[in-house]
């Protein structure tokens, strides 16, 4: 086992130097590290000490800074192991539970054996031995007895009560794959763990029903990762709980996230709240989604942006269907937790834009806290953000146009007339412009597409 872990550690060190999202790191961890343990866990279970070593390696790869080695470094874990094992759609990291993974493998082996019984393909000697033990109900193999009992428990939970010994299949009539077995076992405990602060927000009306599902639909990987980490409470600022703010020197209480991103005086100076409101207004639909007025206050003009209510909005206060929901109704836009609650009905543009803004604020916070030579920029550059916004829309348009052209090359029946591709691309251009709330003229011309495809 030590040799295996050393091999895994050596391969992960190379990946550790890259700046990757949590989703990418998780996939790397499974493909290049944890999957190597598969062969060694078919029969024997890992010892507790071995499981601890594996978990420490996982914590180092996901939580430690990129420039820290796997050994001799005290990792400040960004997420507890129990919560990290849950899927991304509920705010976990989708890390394998090694013990459940081992059980899933054993149940998959038993299920494949029973499938062989069904199809009369028990050719191997151990299959014939197992078949005999089951027929006589006399078990000499502890492995078979223990895992057949576990297999029967799943069978009962799936309400399969026929007397015949048949393999457990999925909705498509195929035997469960290893991944499906793992999911089946994992689903026995549907509780979604939350941090203490997430639970307190939940009690105050901050919903988590579709929050992470909506975050996973954000187009740009980097901004999506930052928004996910923020809501999953796994940014490297958890150690700042109940400490003084490193920026404004005020007490942050139990919420460094809310303070650093929303309440900190230095952050407010950086984002210029009035410019932020105007930027959101011009990039998320202007008069289409918002009422915009200018009011005079103390010889200054202030942009007042009020959400425009949809005439078709659902009135059920439990659905969070629209801004009309009285629990979330705002006289004007405010920069706080509710501004990035993706369970509220928001436009495609709004969700992606807020992720872009939050990501750039996070870059600035990191620079101010961790850099030896912090930037002296006094405010967020909204002109740069606007360029990034248009670039994001353009890349999305080009990608979908490529997919459309490839589809037309394969599907000759639906694209017999060359004009169909042109019409579809024009429609795509309008749709993309509408989603990102930008003028069509800012996207590439149809004629110039050959340079992108």
Higher pLDDT, 332 or 218: 218
Residue 420 has pLDDT above 70, yes or no: yes
The pLDDT score that the predictor gives to residue 313 is 47
Higher pLDDT, 93 or 347: 93
CB 58, CB 121: distance < 8 Å: no
Tokens 């024997």, residue located: 44
Instruction: Give pLDDT tens digits for 273-300.
Output: 888 888 887 787 665 555 566 677 677 7
Q: Which tokens belong to 65?
A: 């800074």
Residue 327 has pLDDT above 60, yes or no: no
Q: What is the mean pLDDT of residues 402-418?
A: 75
pTM: 0.79
CA distances from 240 to 124, 158, 246 (A): 59, 46, 9
Higher pLDDT, 189 or 386: 386
C-alpha dihedral, 310 to 330 to 225 to 243, nearest 10°: -170
Q: What is the mean pLDDT of residues 183-194?
A: 73
Among residues 405, 385, 387, 386, the alpha carbon closest in space to that of 452 is found at: 405
Q: What are the backbone angles phi and psi of residue 244, rounded to the nearest 5°?
A: -75, 140
Among residues 222, 190, 256, the alpha carbon closest in space to that of 358 is found at: 222
The pLDDT score that the predictor gives to residue 451 is 46
Residue 123 has pLDDT above 90, yes or no: no
The pLDDT score that the predictor gives to residue 331 is 42
Helices (H), 272-381: 273-283, 348-370
Q: What is the mean pLDDT of residues 365-388?
A: 85
Confidence of residue 328 (pLDDT cuts 50, 70, 90): very low
Q: What is the mean pLDDT of residues 27-54?
A: 80
Rounded distance, CA 74 to CA 395, Å? Answer: 40
Segment among 102-111, 200-209, 229-238 with least mean pLDDT: 200-209
Where in the chain are the domains? 2-96, 101-186, 196-380, 385-451
Rounded distance, CA 297 to CA 294, Å? Answer: 10
Residue 110: half-sphere exposure toward Cβ, Cα within 13 Å: 27
What's the mean per-residue pLDDT of the chain? 79
Residue 6 has pLDDT above 70, yes or no: yes
Confidence of residue 230 (pLDDT cuts 50, 70, 90): very high
- Can you point out the beta strands (E) in 283-419? 290-297, 300-307
> 280-284 long-range CB contacts below 8 Å, 24 or more apart?
280/305, 280/333, 280/350, 280/353, 280/354, 280/357, 281/305, 283/349, 283/353, 283/386, 283/389, 283/436, 283/437, 283/438, 284/347, 284/349, 284/350, 284/353, 284/437
């Amino acid at each position: 086992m030590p040799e295996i872990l050393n091999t895994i550690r050596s391969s992960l060190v190379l990946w550790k130097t890259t700046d990757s999202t949590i989703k990418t790191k998780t996939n790397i961890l499974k493909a290049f590290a944890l999957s190597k343990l598969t062969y060694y866990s078919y029969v024997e279970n890992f010892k507790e000490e071995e499981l601890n070593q594996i978990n420490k390696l996982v914590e180092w790869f996901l939580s430690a800074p990129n420039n820290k080695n796997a050994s001799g470094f005290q990792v400040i874990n960004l997420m507890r192991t129990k919560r990290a094992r849950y899927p991304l759609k509920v705010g976990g990291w989708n890390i394998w539970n090694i013990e459940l993974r081992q059980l899933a493998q054993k149940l998959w082996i038993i299920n494949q054996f029973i499938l062989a019984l069904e199809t009369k393909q028990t050719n191997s000697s151990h299959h014939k031995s197992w078949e005999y033990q089951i027929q006589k109900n006399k078990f000499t193999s502890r492995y078979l007895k223990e895992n057949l009992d576990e297999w029967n428990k799943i069978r009962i939970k799936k309400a399969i009560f026929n007397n015949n010994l048949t393999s457990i299949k999925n909705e498509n009539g195929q035997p469960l794959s290893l991944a499906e077995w793992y999911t089946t076992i994992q689903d026995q405990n549907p509780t979604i763990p939350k941090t203490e602060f997430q639970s307190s927000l939940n009690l105050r009306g901050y919903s988590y029903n579709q929050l992470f599902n909506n975050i996973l639909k954000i187009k740009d990987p980097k901004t999506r990762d930052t928004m996910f980490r923020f809501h999953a409470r796994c940014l490297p600022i958890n150690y700042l709980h109940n400490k003084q703010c490193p920026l404004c020197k005020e007490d942050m209480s139990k919420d460094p996230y809310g303070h650093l991103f929303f309440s900190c005086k230095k952050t407010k100076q950086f984002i210029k709240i009035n410019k932020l409101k105007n930027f959101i207004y011009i990039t998320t639909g202007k008069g289409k989604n918002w009422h915009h007025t200018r009011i005079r206050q103390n010889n200054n003009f202030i942009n007042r942006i009020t959400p425009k209510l949809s005439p078709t909005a659902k009135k059920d206060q439990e659905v969070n269907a629209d801004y009309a929901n009285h629990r979330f109704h705002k006289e004007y836009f405010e920069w706080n937790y509710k501004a990035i609650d993706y369970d509220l009905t928001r436009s495609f543009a709004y969700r992606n834009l807020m992720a872009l803004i939050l990501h750039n604020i996070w870059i600035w916070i990191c620079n101010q806290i961790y850099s030896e030579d912090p930037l002296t920029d006094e405010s967020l550059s909204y002109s740069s953000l606007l360029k990034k916004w248009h670039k994001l829309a353009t890349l999305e348009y080009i990608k979908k146009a490529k997919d459309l052209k490839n589809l037309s090359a394969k599907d000759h029946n639906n694209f017999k007339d060359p004009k169909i591709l042109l019409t579809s691309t024009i429609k795509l251009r309008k749709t993309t412009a509408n989603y990102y709330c930008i003028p069509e003229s800012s996207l590439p011309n149809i004629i110039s597409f050959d340079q992108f495809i």
